[in-house]
A and B are shown apart, each in its own frame.
Chain A
Amino acid sequence: MNDVHTDAKVDISAEGSVGCRFIRSILRSRETGIALAIVIMVAVLAILAPSFLSADNVSNNARNMSFVGIAVLGEALVLIIGGIDLSVGSIWGVTAVASAALMSYGLPTPVAIAGGLSVAALFGLFNGLCITLLRMPPFVPTLATMSIARATALMITRGRSIDEFRPIGDSFFELGGGSILGVPTPFVLFAVLSIIMWVLLDRTIFGRRLYAIGGNETAARLSGIDVDRMKIAVYVLSALFAGLAGLVEVSYLSSAIANQGTGKELNVIAAAVIGGTNLMGGEGTILGVFFGAIILEILRNGLVLIGTDAYSQGIFVGLVIIIAVFIDQLRKGVWRRK
């Protein structure tokens, strides 16, 4: 009887041409919904606040979203394997001040950048080792790192800002403040990294294994995946992306302070969730989190432009998170009874 049933399903899906199925799969995909949300938000804002579409504003938004956006690319990997990284905001901060400090000691820019990213990688390694070797739930070590990395940043700066670590007009400031063919450099970086990460997740063994671990860790292990090594790699990558976000921000601000990136872990996770990443693991795409970062920025900027009370912004962000997940659950039919 079971066979008959399955055969019936074959018949249904065999209907229609390949092209037709392709269109249907696009319409049904999560990313289409998110893209649609962006289009609607842009259209509404364009009417309510005409300055929203001005070249300056668009360019500013593109730059602003890139810092969180770059960090989301790393967090997405962590969420896909079913983990969480709460330390991204602090690693962002410590990388920013560490690299600025190294530059202020007169080290060449590439060395300072490498130094800052090494600090980030070490914190990521610490997270990864606690989670794998010590079998801790990811929440714990990343929460600890959130505190430790922030304190490290404060110790480096002793509470002051690091300024004038490079002469005005130095090429280092191009990274955050410059633009390529009229597009802000951070956004170019964000877009390029997104494409690389998209290929990594979609077309490599590494990516495939991440989804396997997030989908079913036991089955992943029994399928021959070295789960621990993968996890360590993912937490290091997450820290590196967070550190890179901090670096680009330092370049943009041309000044480094210890509280850079404070609270950004919430924005980063919010962008990933809005982009359809499942906190339970196994689900999420780079395209989705890319859109998620865009939505978060449009929301922030739009609320300012239409004159909403700045203090109330968090309410809207919170509501958008709930609505995004709600729509996603509707799509998946979570409430159909067992």
Chain B
Amino acid sequence: MPDLPVLALDGISKSFPGVKALKNVSFLLEAGEIRALVGENGAGKSTLMKVLSGAYSADAGTISVFGKAVENPSPATMIGKGVAVIYQEMAQAPHLSVAENVLLGRLPRRTGGLVDWAEARRQTAAVLERLGFAIDPAARIDTLSVAKRQMVEIARALTRNARIIVLDEPSAVLAASEIAQLFAIIRKLSAEDGVAFVYISHRLVEVFDIAETVTVMRDGEVVHQCRTEEIDSETLIRHMVGREVGDIFPKRVPKIGEEALRISGLSAGGLVEDASLYVRRGEIVGLFGLAGAGRTETLKGLFGADRAARGTLQLGGKIVHLASPRDGLAHGLGLVPEDRKVAGLFLKQSVGFNITISSLKHLMAGLLLSRVKETALVDTIIRRLRVKTPNARAAVQNLSGGNQQKCVIGRLVGAECSIMLADEPTRGVDVGAKREIYDLLFELSDSRQLAIVIASSELPEILNLCDRVYVMREGRITAELDARQTSEEEVMRYATHN
């Protein structure tokens, strides 16, 4: 008789204002199973994980662990049931030691209530050794590499007797050798201890390497589940994307004009060294690199948002120095920041407020802001960028990710930027909205001769949108490639060590 599934999700649904993030999601996980969960950004993987960790409560559906339905899941109850979710951005206390993090909330005590540090270090050392990690229990977390921090998280999950470990895109921050080590540990825990894993990734090579079963999500639904040996990567991609890749990316013939921006010898963000690049009007240039390669730092350095940035910047052939984002905007540069909620939007404010904040000077009538001019600009942007909002007064936080991003882009259009620096412009946006943003970027590039730099970690995006590609690795530009001549393999080669 087969064992009860260790985890059963049944009909999970979850909505946010403006988005139905999960629709009737169900799957089972057996003891010792390693299941990959794949899907594009915005497919609902992260929301599902947050439901599983108890951080979000589902609108409908049940979560059962070892056959028992979990009532009112909260982060504490889910941990108690043996479910550990390890996020990409790890929830650690960076100033504390490895031992303190591993045993957070459960430090061993001596009689009298004082922490027994010797015992804490001993316990931590024991679990780290069992996992085969060479990490000093006394080291401070913020002195460790991202890979080691991830291992600390796994150790923490194990000391809490986790039976189900969810890993959210762990490989995004790991080098190849570290990935191999991680996989060895996953296999060991799965085989020897029967720990079940949900492995979230969009790197299909890894999925076929580590996982026995795979669940594909798209637009908040489970669209396919099978054993990994029953499927090939092409079919998997088709399930993820739901259409041929060619359909997502519009086609165009760029009308390239004169040079708009050139930087020589840029150093920025304590990471980027001696980076040089240029972009011409009407051209879309890609900046590809893995996490930590320095994409964001490069864009911030160009925009004037990094005071410590050094390098020679030429705009339209003239050398300029940008001391602040204000300078950047005044010179026609605009930045679409990486995380729109953290750095792009005024979430509680209206759509109109968000669109006009960088172009208020053009909206004056005498000493005061002109309602008429303001409404005219906002309406034009909403119409031109096809922002789906009930009206200009709606709070921007109630819009879907794609429409929020359009507001950020619309702000730059309103400010009449001639050079747009877009950092992961389609992150956390669903597939349909992605296509709209691609169309929009093409339209701006063609009709306004906008020079666009797109930083992205998504290869298909870079290769299909851009005319030229710069590849970054560890803060340096390692290649400049013609997007139409190169291949994913070639770009990845320059982005990684081999």
Contact = CB atoms under 8 A, between A and B. Distances in A.
B353 interface: yes
Contacts of A211: 346, 349, 353
A209 B326 CA distance: 13
Interface in B415-433: 415, 430, 432-433
A283 B57 CA distance: 28
A212 B346 CA distance: 7
B346 A219 contact: yes
Nearest to B19: A2
A200 to B, nearest CB: 10
A199 B220 CA distance: 46
Interface string B274-289: 0000000000000000
Interface string A8-51: 01101110000000000000000000000000000000000000
A282 to B, nearest CB: 6
B78 to A, nearest CB: 15
Contacts of A226: 324, 326
Contact of A2 (B345, B358, B394, B402): B402
B390 A10 contact: yes
Given A216-B347, A223-B325, A337-B57, A208 B357 contact: yes
Nearest to B436: A3
A115 interface: no
Interface string A197-212: 0010001110011011
Interface string B20-63: 10010000000000000000000000000000000111000000
A5 B391 CA distance: 15
Interface string B351-379: 00100111011001001110000000000
Contacts of A224: 325-326, 328-330, 358, 415
Interface string A90-113: 000000000000000000000000
Interface stretch (B255-263, B335-343, B474-482): B335-343
A285 to B, nearest CB: 13
B321 interface: no
Given A215-B347, A218-B342, A222-B337, A208 B325 contact: no
A12 to B, nearest CB: 8
Nearest to B300: A222
A6 B55 CA distance: 25
Given A222-B305, A222-B335, A2 B400 contact: yes
Nearest to A4: B20
B400 A208 contact: no
A199 B357 contact: no
B18 A5 contact: yes
Interface string B387-430: 01111001000011011000000010001000000000000001
Given A199-B368, A205-B361, A215-B347, A225 B400 contact: no
A253 B134 CA distance: 75
B256 to A, nearest CB: 28
B368 to A, nearest CB: 4
A208 B360 CA distance: 9
B153 interface: no
Contact of B400 (A6, A14, A209, A337): A6
A245 B457 CA distance: 56
B348 interface: yes
Interface string B195-237: 0000000000000000000000001100000000000000000
Contact of B357 (A13, A14, A203, A223): A223
Interface string A218-259: 111111111000000000000000000000000000000000
Contact of B20 (A2, A199, A220, A221): A2
Given A3-B432, A13-B390, A223 B349 contact: no
Given A1-B20, A1-B220, A216 B345 contact: yes
Interface residues of A, number: 34
Nearest to B326: A224
A6 B324 CA distance: 37
A7 B57 contact: no
Contacts of B348: 215, 282-283
A251 B345 CA distance: 46
Contacts of B399: 6
A176 to B, nearest CB: 30
Nearest to B339: A218
A338 interface: yes
B369 A204 contact: yes
Contact of A203 (B20, B369, B432): B369
Interface in A263-304: 282-283
B5 interface: no
Contacts of A205: 360-361, 364, 369
Nearest to B336: A222
B344 interface: yes
A220 B325 CA distance: 10
A6 B346 contact: no
A283 B55 CA distance: 27
Nearest to B333: A224
A220 B415 CA distance: 14
Given A1-B220, A224-B330, A6 B389 contact: yes
Contacts of B369: 203-205, 208
Nearest to B389: A6
A2 B432 contact: yes
Contacts of A5: 18-20, 400
A223 B333 CA distance: 11
A6 B387 CA distance: 10
B343 A203 contact: no
Contacts of A225: 326, 357
Most buried by B among A14, A199, A222, A226: A222
Given A204-B368, A216-B345, A2 B433 contact: yes
A205 B324 CA distance: 19
Residue from A208, A209, A220, A283 whose CB has the most chain B CB atoms within 10 Å: A208
A6 B403 contact: yes
Given A1-B219, A205-B361, A224-B328, A219 B57 contact: no
Contact of B391 (A13, A218, A222): A13
Interface string B297-333: 0000001010000000000000000001110111000
B390 A221 contact: no
B349 A215 contact: yes
A154 B18 CA distance: 58
Contacts of A14: 390
Contacts of B305: 221-222
A279 to B, nearest CB: 14
Contacts of B18: 2, 5-6, 9
A238 to B, nearest CB: 22
Contacts of A282: 346, 348-349
Interface of B: 18-20, 23, 55-57, 219-220, 303, 305, 324-326, 328-330, 335, 337, 342-349, 353, 356-358, 360-361, 364, 367-369, 388-391, 394, 399-400, 402-403, 411, 415, 430, 432-433
The 8 closest A-B pairs by CB, nearest first: A215-B346, A224-B329, A6-B388, A13-B390, A203-B368, A224-B326, A205-B360, A218-B343
Given A3-B432, A215-B346, A224-B415, 9 more contacts: A5-B19, A211-B349, A215-B347, A218-B337, A218-B342, A219-B346, A224-B328, A282-B349, A283-B348
17 contacts: A2-B19, A2-B400, A3-B432, A6-B18, A6-B388, A6-B399, A9-B18, A203-B369, A208-B369, A215-B346, A216-B346, A219-B337, A223-B329, A223-B411, A224-B325, A226-B324, A338-B55
